[in-house]
């Protein structure tokens, strides 16, 4: 056991040191560790939290788009499912805002995992029939899936009436509490910065380990050449569904965090435009590069807000797409292509 | 020559036979459709049914015009041109300004002029976008061009939504501003009543113009040299280079035709609804039309028409029941169709060969 932990630390020490150093830096600037004057106000902290959530979303999208080579653009749909599930647990079922801090945290973790699991289930169900579609057709189905999720949430009132009419009163009450078209408000502010940070780090580690495992290799082989992979005995459908559900799981977790940062969710938060944002982060960073996803998600979340801060207010929404177009024309493979920072690549075992 | 023709017809007959072998599937689909339609007629009445049908055809013809552009561009360079919805918006705004100007000059028949000029200007913009943003990426990874298309789309929306008061001189003459604009009445509105069903003359015009443009497009693609070259480029670019077809020129022309159809759709859309909400108005019609194109089999011109009418009609029916259903129905139909026919309604499913 001890040896295992030691090995874990040895494998990850660069990553862990970097993560802790960055965290300490942020907390110093935030004024929690009173060394430096407080530079980061709550506004900046919120942007940072959004950047972290976007990192989770982009890396998870990278899992299916970049590493498995299946073109999915309905990521906001899974985010929506995760957000609504976890917000339902904390806001309605547990009423977490009037509990002590510790159980609150436990409940939050539980609800996040539930959100992720429900999103993964949705991913599994939608992936089962549709993953046999190729290329652009798969993209369109996933896009449509995202929009269907959104329109179902928008129609919760009518669905509640329907269930009331057929006699399921309890169920109908539950659904009407989600108050779809008006948005779900007064969600407890459970996503603290440290929590979002730790979740992000954990998600990155889990996804990276998946990619460099046997299963991940199978996914990579599907990306490189599906026919060849199938010939070599890789069960392509199975691995596609695994990576799709996993991607959906982390999207659900990201959605849960998002709901508890923003404290108000509306189905229109999770529209096609949101999915497109993640797609942009992914391609700007580079397909098949976790580093690229991290850098691009952070950079492109901060860039529009930075332009706002330096009084470039009216131009910011014009500069952002221009930057994107120029980036794509200059570097069509994204900033990082499929290169990685060395600390994200596991060392090869010598004894083999 | 004769032998070739014979074998072609034979193949065609065999494929028709194969299609007919699936008659059970089609029977089930048509029974389900008839069931829903009769349910609708029973609960809302025949009058409402016919009224919604006409509204649906009108909406479908707008989708069809946008979808044709999408499908042509996709067919020729395999790019989902996300900026197409914004070119639709651009066309609508151009015809709004031009219409206001012409009406102020007491011009007799402003509609035709407005339609043609807006089509030409938008086509030029489309060609410029193709030259600047897509051409350098033609032989690069396909998804890079897709992201560029998204970037161009965001740029067009946000650039034209800049408020003229906030920006310096040369730009404030170009931008449209984020505000709501009334669309000039290019044609006097007249409503005809047939047994309780009301039809607007604008709706009739809308449907006729769409059908005329479709026939024109079909003529261009099937009968002219340019159309032949377009089909050749869509089929095999390398062979076209060897045959001396100027690929750049043909792709440019395709973009021009596609975007001019989008501009026509924008003009008709704005004329029908009498207003322009904001430069973001192209997003949703563009997306719906794109889905219609996929529904019919993307890259396939008759498919885009069928898909668009199906989409428009089902959407109006569902919206008349509940607005949220109307929003989601398009996507549900799409998912169901693609599960059973993975290449769309009229698309051919090509098996991958090693």
Q: Do A325 and B148 touch (CB under 8 A)?
A: yes
Q: Identify the bridge partners of residue B176 per DSSP, sorted by sequence position.
A: none
Does any domain span residue B223?
A: yes
More confident residue, A233 or A29: A233
Separation CA B182–CA A352 (nearest Å): 74
Does any domain span residue B132?
A: yes
| Residue range A327-350, pLDDT digits in tens | 888 888 888 877 777 777 776 665
Does any domain span residue B352?
A: no
Separation CA B217–CA B302 (nearest Å): 11
Q: Is the ipTM of this complex over 0.95?
A: no
A268 touches chain B (CB under 8 A): no
Q: Are B353 and A148 spatial neighbours (Cβ–Cβ below 8 Å)?
A: no
Angle between the N-to-C axes of helices A272-285 and A290-309, in degrees from 0 to 180, rounded to the nearest 10: 120
Separation CA A97–CA A329 (nearest Å): 49
Tell me, rounded to whole angstroms, the distance of Cα A146 from its chain centroid: 14
Residue A303's pLDDT band (boundaries 50, 70, 90)? confident
- Residues 6+ away with beta carbon under 8 Å from B177: B161, B162, B163, B164
Q: Identify the bridge partners of residue B181 per DSSP, sorted by sequence position.
A: B276
**Distance to chain A for B4, nearest Cα, Å:** 33
Query: What does the pLDDT read at residue B6?
Result: 59
Domain ranges for chain A, please list them: 1-40, 54-272
Q: Do B137 and A329 touch (CB under 8 A)?
A: yes
Enclosing domain of residue B282: 40-340
Query: What does the pLDDT read at residue B93?
Result: 93
Residue A141 has pLDDT above 70, yes or no: yes
Q: Do B294 and A320 touch (CB under 8 A)?
A: no
Domain count, chain B: 1
Query: What does the pLDDT read at residue B140?
Result: 81
Q: Do B338 and A151 touch (CB under 8 A)?
A: no
Residues 69-128 of B with CB under 8 A from A: 74, 80
More confident residue, B15 or A267: A267
Separation CA A67–CA A135 (nearest Å): 14
Residue A257's pLDDT band (boundaries 50, 70, 90)? very high
Please tell me which of the candidates A141, A273, A325 has its beta carbon nearest to residue B338.
A141
Chain B CB contacts of A160 below 8 Å:
none
pLDDT in tens, chain B (354 residues): 455 565 566 566 556 555 555 667 677 878 888 888 888 888 888 888 888 888 899 999 999 999 999 888 888 888 888 899 999 999 999 999 999 988 888 887 888 899 999 999 999 999 999 999 898 888 887 778 888 898 899 899 988 888 888 777 777 778 888 888 888 888 888 888 877 788 888 888 899 999 999 999 989 988 999 999 999 998 888 898 899 999 999 999 999 999 999 999 999 999 988 888 888 888 888 888 988 888 888 878 888 888 999 889 888 888 888 777 777 788 888 888 887 777 778 776 655 555
Tokens 């970037």 -> residue: B151
Q: Do B133 and A325 touch (CB under 8 A)?
A: yes
Q: Model-level pTM?
A: 0.83
Query: What does the pLDDT read at residue B94?
Result: 92
Chain A CB contacts of B339 below 8 Å:
129-130
Q: Do B143 and A71 touch (CB under 8 A)?
A: yes
Residue A277 has pLDDT above 60, yes or no: yes
Nearest CA in chain A to B135: A329
- Residues 6+ away with beta carbon under 8 Å from A254: A53, A54, A56, A57, A60, A79, A82, A203
Angle between the N-to-C axes of helices A101-130 and A135-154, in degrees from 0 to 180, rounded to the nearest 10: 130
Chain A CB contacts of B155 below 8 Å:
318, 321-322, 325
Question: Residue B117 burial (CB < 10 Å; 0-12/13-18/19+)?
Answer: middle
Tokens 């992936």 -> residue: A127
Q: Rounded to whole angstroms, what are the CA distances from B135 to B77, B149, B247?
A: 10, 11, 11
Does any domain span residue B190?
A: yes
Separation CA A249–CA A123 (nearest Å): 8
Query: What does the pLDDT read at residue B255?
Result: 93
Residue A252's pLDDT band (boundaries 50, 70, 90)? very high
Separation CA B85–CA B89 (nearest Å): 6
Residues 256-295 of B with CB under 8 A from A: 283, 287, 290-291, 294
Cα torsion A95, A98, A100, A104: sign: positive
Q: Do B151 and A328 touch (CB under 8 A)?
A: yes
Residue A97's pLDDT band (boundaries 50, 70, 90)? low
Q: Do A329 and B136 touch (CB under 8 A)?
A: yes
B162 touches chain A (CB under 8 A): yes
A329 touches chain B (CB under 8 A): yes
Q: Do A151 and B159 touch (CB under 8 A)?
A: no
Which two structure tokens, joined as six digits, stand for B25? Answer: 């599937």
Q: Do A141 and B167 touch (CB under 8 A)?
A: no
Residue A94's pLDDT band (boundaries 50, 70, 90)? confident
Query: What does the pLDDT read at residue A350?
Result: 57
Look over chain A and give the mean of its residue pLDDT values, rounded to a whole number: 85
CATH number of the domain that B165 lies in?
1.10.3470
**Which of A329, A333, A337, A338 should one mutate to test binding to chain B, selecting the residue with the greatest count of B CBs within 10 A?**
A329
| Residue range A147-184, pLDDT digits in tens | 888 888 888 888 888 888 887 787 788 788 887 788 88
Number of A–B residue contacts, CB under 8 Å: 125
């Amino acid at each position: 056991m001890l040896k295992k932990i030691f090995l874990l630390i040895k494998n990850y020490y660069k990553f862990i040191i970097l993560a802790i150093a960055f965290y300490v830096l942020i907390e110093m600037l935030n004024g929690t560790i009173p060394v430096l004057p407080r530079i980061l106000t709550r506004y900046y902290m919120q942007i940072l939290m959004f950047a972290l959530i976007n990192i989770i979303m982009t890396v998870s999208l990278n899992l299916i788009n970049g590493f498995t080579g299946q073109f999915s653009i309905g990521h906001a749909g899974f985010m929506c499912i995760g957000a609504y599930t976890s917000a339902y647990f904390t806001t309605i079922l547990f009423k977490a805002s009037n509990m002590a801090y510790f159980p609150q945290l436990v409940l939050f973790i539980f609800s996040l995992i539930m959100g992720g699991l429900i999103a993964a289930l949705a991913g599994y169900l939608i992936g089962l029939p549709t993953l046999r579609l190729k290329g652009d057709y798969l993209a369109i189905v996933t896009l449509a899936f995202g929009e269907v999720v959104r329109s179902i949430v928008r129609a919760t009132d009518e669905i509640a009436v329907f269930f009331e009419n057929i006699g399921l009163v309890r169920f109908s009450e539950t659904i009407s509490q989600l108050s779809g078209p008006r948005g779900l408000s007064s969600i407890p502010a459970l996503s603290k910065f440290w929590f979002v940070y730790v979740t992000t780090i954990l998600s990155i580690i889990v996804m990276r380990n998946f990619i460099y495992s046997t299963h991940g290799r199978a996914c990579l082989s599907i990306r490189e050449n599906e026919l060849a992979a199938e010939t070599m005995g890789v069960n392509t459908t199975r691995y596609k569904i695994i990576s799709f559900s996993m991607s959906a799981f982390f999207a659900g977790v990201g959605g849960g965090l998002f709901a508890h940062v923003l404290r108000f969710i509306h189905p229109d938060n999770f529209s096609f435009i949101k999915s497109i944002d993640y797609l942009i982060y992914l391609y700007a960073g580079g397909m098949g590069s976790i580093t690229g996803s991290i850098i691009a998600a952070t950079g492109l979340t901060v860039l529009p807000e930075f332009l706002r801060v330096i009084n470039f207010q009216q131009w910011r929404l014009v500069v952002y797409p221009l930057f994107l177009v120029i980036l794509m024309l200059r570097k069509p493979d994204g900033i990082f292509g499929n290169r990685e920072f060395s600390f994200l690549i596991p060392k090869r075992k010598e004894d083999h | 020559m004769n032998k070739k023709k014979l074998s072609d017809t034979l193949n065609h007959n065999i494929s028709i036979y194969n299609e007919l072998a699936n008659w059970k599937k089609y029977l089930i689909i048509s029974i389900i459709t008839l069931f829903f339609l009769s349910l609708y007629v029973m609960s809302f009445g025949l009058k409402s049914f016919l009224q919604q049908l006409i509204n649906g055809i009108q909406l479908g013809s707008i989708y069809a015009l946008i979808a044709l552009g999408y499908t042509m561009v996709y067919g020729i360079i395999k790019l989902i041109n996300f900026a197409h919805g914004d070119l639709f918006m651009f066309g609508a705004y151009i015809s709004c300004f031009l219409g206001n100007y012409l009406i102020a000059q007491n011009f007799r028949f402003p509609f035709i002029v407005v339609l043609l000029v807006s089509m030409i200007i938008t086509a030029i913009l489309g060609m410029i976008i193709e030259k600047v943003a897509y051409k350098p990426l033609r032989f690069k990874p396909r998804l890079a061009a897709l992201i560029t298309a998204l970037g161009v789309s965001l740029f067009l929306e946000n650039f034209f939504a800049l408020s003229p008061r906030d920006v310096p001189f040369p730009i404030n003459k170009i931008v449209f501003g984020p505000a709501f604009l009334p669309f000039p009445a290019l044609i006097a509105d007249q409503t005809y009543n047939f047994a309780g069903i009301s039809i607007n003359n604008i709706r009739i015009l809308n449907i006729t113009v769409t059908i005329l443009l479709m026939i024109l497009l079909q003529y261009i693609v099937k009968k002219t040299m340019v159309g032949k070259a377009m089909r050749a480029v869509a089929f095999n670019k390398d062979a076209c280079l060897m045959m001396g077809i100027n690929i750049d020129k043909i792709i440019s022309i395709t973009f021009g035709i596609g975007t001019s159809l989008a501009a026509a759709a924008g003009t008709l859309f704005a004329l029908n609804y009498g207003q322009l909400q904001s430069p973001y108005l192209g997003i949703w019609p563009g997306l719906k039309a794109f889905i219609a194109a996929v529904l019919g089999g993307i890259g396939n011109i008759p498919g885009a028409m069928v898909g668009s009418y199906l989409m428009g009609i089902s959407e109006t029916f569902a919206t008349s029941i509940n607005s949220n259903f109307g929003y989601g129905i398009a996507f549900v139909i799409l998912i169901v169709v693609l599960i059973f026919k993975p290449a769309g309604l009229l698309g051919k499913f090509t098996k991958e060969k090693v």
